[in-house]
Structure 1
Amino acid sequence: MKNRFLIVICLITISCKAQNIVPIYNGPENEPPLPHYYKDVDNDFDRIVGTWKWQEGNSSLTIELKKILSAPDIGSNVSDILIGGYTYIKNGVECTNSLPMPNLPMDKLTNHSIWGGVIGTPIKGAPPCPECGTNPRYVKVQVREPENPLLEGKFIMGHFIQNGVEKIRLLFLNTAISIPTADYTGPEEMCIPEFSTLTLTKQ
């Protein structure tokens, strides 16, 4: 009986580790059989991880990003993702703030104000970034405000180094109501102006 129990545990362990790796960037046209592990094989997310800040006058945007390995995806798939939070101050007034990031369980990671991660060259709508090189890889994540959770937008970010300082060029766009409802009476725009292109410096 004990041997049978050990065999079952071994089989479960093997099956849990049997996800077929699919690169998030430049994955194959014909994906391997399920389940998948959508993996950041080139560590593109790592360049974006950290705390970043843009400031102009008394307005500022501070974002914090963290990489999560093997986060739950659809079905039995898993994926590397970015999670994060941010603070936006407009003309000296705090407009939205989701920092510090809450410590959410793995099955609730999409409740963060920043989550997800698409890697592409190019990504449609990516910000102009000649400093990012001739063939830059951009990272796109979903963004929401804790004060208005039904509103969502996207950050598209490119990483570069200028005079030894790490920076990201960020574009905010695609504000929309994530779950359209007839009785929605909230704002139709998020605090950060649509199509804002900002340069943030690593803190």
Structure 2
Amino acid sequence: MKKIICIISILIVSICKSQSIVPLYGSGHAGENGYYYKDLDNFLNQYEGTWLYTFGNTSLKIVLVKKVKMPFTSITGTYYRDVLVGEYEYYENGVLKINTLSNLNVNHNKFYSYNLSGKNRINKEIYPKCIDCAVNEYRIKLEYSEPAYKDYQGFDSYMLIRTVTENGVAKLKLSFIEGNMRGFKIPNNNIDDIIEITATYKIPFGEYVLIKQ
């Protein structure tokens, strides 16, 4: 009898877990405790890989990886989402300005521990508008950060990217958008000790076209 009860309990737990999986996009749920927002249509997959922009001796390399079932915390509890994360390397006139690629070797359990991260789909009408995008085409928004400013809050610059294939070549079209450059941190949660800073990012804002390697 105990064995039957045990088997039934396992089945109930399995069913509950399967029922908690919902689409990452368009599910109608919003950060509900225990839910897993899964990229069921593999939208994030198109961005994975190593991408390279070059112009003379200046280059920008971005490596993007899809992380599955990463934990998020809200006032309702803990839930899970698939998310795109990445790191980068930037040379300007042959001089290395910044390289965070090694951070991808670390299996962080928080998405914001990576210097590029996001899962939000952006349609063609959202700034900056995408004139070349198809009617139902989406881009993805990646929050941008640099290691020097990881302890600060308030920055909101981001990269907006889309994938295209031109003459058989896979490309990543990227808009690096400047947001609020003022950040702050509160040591030991003491508001009287607040420290403010203005960020100066190593990678210039603007438009880039990267080729898949």
Counterparts in 2 of 1:32 and 1:18: CA distance versus 1, 3 Å: farther
2:201: which partner in 1? 190
Whether the 8 Å CA contact 2:70–2:110 is kept in 1: the answer is no
Q: Which moved more, 1:59-68 or 1:140-149?
A: 140-149
> Sequence identity, in percent?
27
Q: Which moved more, 1:93-102 or 1:145-154?
A: 145-154
Residue deviations 1:9-59 (CA, integer Å, cap 9, x gap): 4443333333151342xx15x438945433333322111111001011211
Distance in 2, matches of 1:123 and 1:44, equals: 19
Residue deviations 1:43-86 (CA, integer Å, cap 9, x gap): 22111111001011211110001112222223342211111111
What is the Cα-based RMSD across aligned positions, in Å?
2.8
Q: Find the residue that maps to 1:73 and give its secondary structure.
A: strand
Whether the 8 Å CA contact 1:49–1:66 is kept in 2: the answer is yes
Unpaired stretches in structure 2, ≥5 consecutive residues: 186-193
Whether the 8 Å CA contact 1:72–1:78 is kept in 2: the answer is yes
Unpaired stretches in structure 1, ≥5 consecutive residues: none
Count of aligned residue pairs for this structure pair: 196
Tell me how far 1:153 sits from its aligned partner. Answer: 2.5
Whether the 8 Å CA contact 2:21–2:38 is kept in 1: the answer is no
What stretches of structure 1 move > 6 A for 4+ residues in a row? none
The correspondence of residues 1-203 of structure 1 with structure 2, limited to 5 A, is: 3=3, 4-24=5-25, 27=26, 30-31=28-29, 34=32, 35-74=34-73, 75-100=77-102, 101-105=104-108, 107-122=109-124, 124-126=126-128, 128=130, 130=132, 132-133=133-134, 135-149=136-150, 150=152, 153-176=157-180, 180-181=184-185, 182-185=194-197, 187-194=198-205, 196-203=206-213
Tell me how far 1:118 sits from its aligned partner. Answer: 0.9
Distance in 2, matches of 1:33 and 1:63, equals: 29
Say which one has the larger Rg.
2
Where is the helix percentage greater, Structure 1 or Structure 2? 2
Counterparts in 2 of 1:61 and 1:152: CA distance versus 1, 3 Å: farther
Q: Which amino acid aligns with 1:117?
A: K
